């Protein structure tokens, strides 16, 4: 494969570390500033845009889930802490400290809180590292004089999240409450929000963000490529390590261990590892089958998130390293549909019409009919129940436009066939589930397959599964079952 040198060198060259022991390849403050400028450029005249941080989510009792920043706020600031709100103004505003076109309210430094939950940037840190001029503690937002009524448009995302009121002054609950009061957000049951009588706009901002985030810059692609490479290396190493008798959780753990080995901070979405009939559940995340058998295939849909950018790669492989005739027939059919769709990727193409319906779905329907699984290529069925692809980036289903492909778009191509037990076909097909998902960059004259490190052809997978694995020597002591 053309990326074989990348595989050899990746472990030694993927990560560059700064003197403070943190990676130095995060998005730059210049990138975030440019993104804010582009938002401002697209905003209507005399408008203000408001972006809130993601809420902190409670897991149980006094334990919270690992915090993950709102992708829009991170895209525009690089700030990864909660309880913050960013305001971007179309035109310069006059204030007591001079003119400004953006204000950022962030959580304050707090020595006791930082001892428990980690260091905070504070005002000086945000100014120095994220290159903001107007930065204030979130406790100042309530009394900060902002007259939202003077703007023709107040752009924001409506509030669908349930946000807890903590004991901290200026938390996200307080920020939202203050904004609603300042902006005249209707109280519950007041439908004037849908009227032209106010200046609240909850639609324009999302289109602005789709236009921007759907086209990746080179700086973003550098991070996305790393996320994809890490995810593909994990697929390759799990192919080598796969053995009957493993559990779905063990296989999930091998993938995620490799993610962490390459310093990918998170999984981009809940990992999907479904053996046999479990693969027919599209978003199967229990991954709890204690022992996979040699006569099954296993569908592995996992993506590493590296510095905010997530890959989305799926491989389906035979547990014993050899496709049965039925498994190979279904696998090769999905591969053909995917391969033809990938080859057709280029600017101006419509994902649904030109790639999914004209190519992938047609090939799959014709193939299923030829195999006798459906009666005719025009028969409606649920063996391919999902769409062909989506944008990837800061979200696994990233913001972006779907009308026509454009250079700089990063998308998935992921046809699949799922035949659950009890399906209305010969039972020799039951429990066969195949999805092949790859990450594709649209270029000026075609496409680049980002995820080609991981084998896709059935013959290549079987060959890879015969390779020795460094994990073969990783044997843990047995637990006492008494």
Calpha distance 106→101 (Å, rounded)? 17
- Distances in Å between the Cα of 224 and the Cα atoms of 21, 145, 210, 217, 410 are 22, 40, 17, 10, 9
Q: Which two tokens stand for residue 434?
A: 């195949």
Instruction: Give 431's contacts (C-beta < 8 A, 6+ positions apart).
Output: 276, 277, 280, 296, 419, 420, 421
- Which is more confident, 380 or 6? 380
pTM of structure: 0.93
Among 268, 278, 347, 279, residue whose Cα is nearest residue 313:
268
256-313 pLDDT per residue, tens: 999 999 999 999 999 999 999 999 999 999 999 999 999 999 999 999 999 999 999 9
Percent of the chain predicted with pLDDT > 70 = 93
Helix extents (H) in 217-292:
218-241, 248-261
Average pLDDT for the chain:
93
Site of tokens 């035949």: 419
182-230 pLDDT per residue, tens: 999 987 655 455 545 689 999 999 999 999 999 999 999 999 999 999 9
Helix extents (H) in 279-392:
325-343, 361-370
pLDDT of residue 333: 98
Confidence of residue 350 (pLDDT cuts 50, 70, 90): very high
Q: Which residues of 99-132 are buried (b: 16+ CB within 10 A; e: fewer)?
A: eebbbbbbbbeeeeeeeeeeebbbbebbeeebeb
SS3 readout for 121-172: CHHHHHHHHHCCCCEEEHHHCCCCCCCHHHCCEEECCCCCCCCCCCCCCCCH
4-35 pLDDT per residue, tens: 444 434 444 443 333 346 788 999 999 999 99
For residue 418, pLDDT beyond 90: yes
Calpha distance 152→173 (Å, rounded)? 26
Q: Which two tokens stand for residue 248?
A: 């779905």
pLDDT of residue 16: 35
Percent of the chain predicted with pLDDT > 90 = 88
Confidence of residue 58 (pLDDT cuts 50, 70, 90): very high
pLDDT of residue 17: 34
Name the least confident of 161-175, 294-308, 329-343: 161-175
pLDDT of residue 466: 98
Calpha distance 231→219 (Å, rounded)? 19
pLDDT of residue 189: 57
Site of tokens 């946000």: 163
Confidence of residue 475 (pLDDT cuts 50, 70, 90): confident
pLDDT of residue 193: 52
Neighbours of 255 (CB within 10 A): 23
The helix or strand, by DSSP H or E, that contains position 207, with its residue range, turns out to be helix 204-213
pLDDT of residue 368: 98
**Average pLDDT value for residue range 149-178:** 94
110-140 pLDDT per residue, tens: 999 999 999 999 999 999 999 999 999 999 9
């Amino acid at each position: 494969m053309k990326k074989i040198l990348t595989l050899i060198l990746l472990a030694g060259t993927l990560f560059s570390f700064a003197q403070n022991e943190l990676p130095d390849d995060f998005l730059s403050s210049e990138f975030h500033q440019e993104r804010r400028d582009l938002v401002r450029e697209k905003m209507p005249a005399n408008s203000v845009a408001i972006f809130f941080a993601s809420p902190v989510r409670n897991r149980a009792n006094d334990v919270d889930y690992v915090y993950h920043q709102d992708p829009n706020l991170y895209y525009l600031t690089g700030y990864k802490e909660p309880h913050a709100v960013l305001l971007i103004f179309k035109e310069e505003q006059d204030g007591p400290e001079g003119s400004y076109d953006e204000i950022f309210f962030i959580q304050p430094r707090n020595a006791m809180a930082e001892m428990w939950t980690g260091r905070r940037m504070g005002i000086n840190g945000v100014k120095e590292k994220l290159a903001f001029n107007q930065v204030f503690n979130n406790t100042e937002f309530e009394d900060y004089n902002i007259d939202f009524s003077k703007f023709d448009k107040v752009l924001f995302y409506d509030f669908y999240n349930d946000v807890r009121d903590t004991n901290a002054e200026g938390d996200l609950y307080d920020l939202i409450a203050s904004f609603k009061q300042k902006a005249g957000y209707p109280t519950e049951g007041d439908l004037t929000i849908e009227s032209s009588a106010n200046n609240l706009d909850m639609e324009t901002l999302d289109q602005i963000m789709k236009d921007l985030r759907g086209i990746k810059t080179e700086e973003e692609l550098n991070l996305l490529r790393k996320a994809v490479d890490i995810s593909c290396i994990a697929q390759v190493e799990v192919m080598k390590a796969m053995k009957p008798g493993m559990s779905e959780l063990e296989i999930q753990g091998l993938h995620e261990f490799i993610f962490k080995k390459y310093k990918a901070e998170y999984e981009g979405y809940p990992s999907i590892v479904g053996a046999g009939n479990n693969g027919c559940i599209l978003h199967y995340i229990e991954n709890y089958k204690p022992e996979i058998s040699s006569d099954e295939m296993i569908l592995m849909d996992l993506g590493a998130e590296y510095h905010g950018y997530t890959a989305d790669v799926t491989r389906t492989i035979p547990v014993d390293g050899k496709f049965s005739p039925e498994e190979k027939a279904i696998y090769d059919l999905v591969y053909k549909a995917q391969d033809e769709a990938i080859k057709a990727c280029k600017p101006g193409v419509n994902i649904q019409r030109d790639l999914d319906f004209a190519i992938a779905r047609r090939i799959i329907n014709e193939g299923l009919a030829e195999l006798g699984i459906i009666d005719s290529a025009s028969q409606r069925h649920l063996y391919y129940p999902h769409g062909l692809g989506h944008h990837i980036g800061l979200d696994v289903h990233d913001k972006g436009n779907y009308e026509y492909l454009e250079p700089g778009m990063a998308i998935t191509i992921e046809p699949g066939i799922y035949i659950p037990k009890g399906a209305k076909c010969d039972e020799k097909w039951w429990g066969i589930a195949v999805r092949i998902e790859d990450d594709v960059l649209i270029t000026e004259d075609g496409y680049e397959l980002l995820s080609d490190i991981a084998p896709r052809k059935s013959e290549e997978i079987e060959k890879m599964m015969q390779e020795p694995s460094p994990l073969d020597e990783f044997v843990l002591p047995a637990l006492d079952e008494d």
